[in-house]
Amino acid sequence: ILVVLQVRLVMKAHSFIRENVPRVLSSVKDKSSAVHIPRISQYLYFLFAPTLIYRDNYPRNPTIRWGYVATKFAQVLGSLFYAYYIFVRLCIPQFRNSSQETFNLRGLVLCIFNSILPGVLILFLVFFAFLHCWLNAFAEMLRFADRMFYK
């Protein structure tokens, strides 16, 4: 989790620098007195906004739909409980039985193949919980209006 967060912060810092350094360099080259440097509030908003492309201003909704936010967080919680249920009921029993037996290649291959379908289902649930529910909840709380930003 820490590595993923660090990668996200590095990508956001790269985007921030890539968008602002050319502006500063062009104003220095033109010797203009007005150098536009982003405010701290703009950078902090960018750090929490569900985007990796820095802009000074993003389209914003006028209000926050708290019912929508609660629904998205409930979906995250439901997805995590369902992933836990799948893991406990379908994955752990496969490997618990194999720990009591002597090691053989056939048993290992059977355990892995019996865990593929639950593992893929858990991956889908995690992607749904994070990429759809979690990021949309934070987009709504930050009033980030452009949900089709990357189109």
Condensed to tens digits (0 to 9), the pLDDT of residues 41-100 reads: 999 999 988 888 899 888 888 999 999 999 999 999 999 999 999 989 988 887 776 667
Q: Are residues 85 and 140 in the same domain?
A: yes
Q: Which domain holds residue 139?
A: 59-150
Same domain, 126 and 87: yes
Q: Can you tell me whether residue 20 is helix, strand or coil?
A: helix
SS3 125: helix
Q: Helix axis angle, 105-127 relative to 66-86, nearest 10°?
A: 170
Same domain, 22 and 83: no
Q: What is the CA radius of gyration of the chain?
A: 23
pLDDT over threshold 70, residue 149: no
Same domain, 40 and 63: no
Last residue of a domain, one of 10, 34, 57: 57
Question: What single-letter DSSP state applies at residue 60?
Answer: B
Number of domains in the chain: 2
Looking at the fold, whether 95 and 128 belong to one and the same domain comes out as yes
